[in-house]
Amino acid sequence: MEPVHSGKVRDVYADGDDLVLVASDRVSVYDVVLPTPIPDKGRVLTQLSLWWFERLADIMPNHVVSASDVPAEWAGRAIRCRRLEMMPVEFVARGYLAGSALAEYRKHKSLSGNPLPGGLVEASRLPEPVFTPTTKAAEGHDEPITYDDVVGLIGAETAERLRDATLRIYSRGAELAAERGIVIADTKVEFGRAPDGTLVLADEVLTPDSSRFWPADQWRPGRPQNSLDKQFLRDWSSTIAEWDRTPPGPEVPEDIVEATRARYVECYERITGRRWR
């Protein structure tokens, strides 16, 4: 098995015609990998993605070849998957106003060129989900782009299909999560093209690393929300006055590690209805 790439969270290996995607316990905030891992995080991301892939297969085929045909030391956190030509875009759908979208709305009263009504506040539900793509930066921060920019990068037909798929994935996920008492505020997905030309859903999907999850019974527009995702760790890191959001990142205290792990596990258990083991 040959190493191909090591990202902030995932390591990729080539194995014959396939790739093996391994989700580590590394965690990043503001695009900086922190030196302290979060136990079980990689396994949660992998198992939750597999659960969602099954429930989204009618919208878009996915890259999974096998979740079991992987080296034993990576069992539970690795997926054998298809080789794809990945799209140079992060496909983002938002149903609520949070994060960078809130800052953009306050400045422009729009998101990615889509006008929005006045009077919205932090965590407001949007009139309908909005497609807000970004660049896919190899280093540094992803930058917002418009739908027209996406058309320029991948062509009109592909852009339309993947925009529609992104919004359908978000809507399906938000509906299923709502039945389980969770608000999915936004999510990021990635797509690739198989050698036969098929468009394929790839990487991870609707996880606490790629999405914002809020307990529905605690949702209160107009203030920051309690979260079941990586936002908890971002919020903690923002309290460290001496850290300027550049490498190296700060060590994470044990109580913050445990609280972060608990949020990932709770998210998995509430969405899937399965007990984490």
Looking at the predicted structure, is the pLDDT value of residue 141 above 80? Answer: no
| pLDDT reported for residue 136 | 86
Q: At 130, which amino acid appears?
A: V
Helix, strand or coil, per DSSP, at residue 130: strand
What is the reported pLDDT for 62?
98
Q: How far apart are CA 69 and CA 66, in angstroms?
A: 6
Which whole-number Å values give the CA distances from 192 to 36, 133, 171, 199, in the listed order? 31, 15, 21, 6
87-109 tens-digit pLDDT = 999 999 999 999 999 999 999 99
What's the confidence (pLDDT) of residue 137? 72
CB environment 124-160: b (16+ within 10 A), e (fewer): bebeebbbbbbbeeeeeebebbebebbeebbeeebbe
- What span, in angstroms and rounded, lies between the C-alpha atoms of 153 and 151? 5
pLDDT digits (tens, 9 = 90+) for 116-133: 999 999 999 999 999 999
| Ordered alpha helix ranges (H), the chain | 41-56, 100-108, 147-154, 156-178, 231-237, 254-272
What pLDDT, in 10s, does the model give residues 53-77?
999 999 999 999 999 999 999 999 9
∠ CA 196-199-204 to the nearest 5 degrees? 125
* Alpha carbon distances (Å) from 118 to 59, 94, 108, 171: 33, 17, 10, 23
- Give me Rg for the CA atoms of the chain: 18
Using CA atoms, how far apart are residues 192 and 210, in angstroms rounded to an integer? 17
Average pLDDT of the segment spanning 23-38: 96
Query: Which are the contacts of 174, defined by CB distance < 8 A and separation ≥ 6?
Result: 95, 129, 183, 184
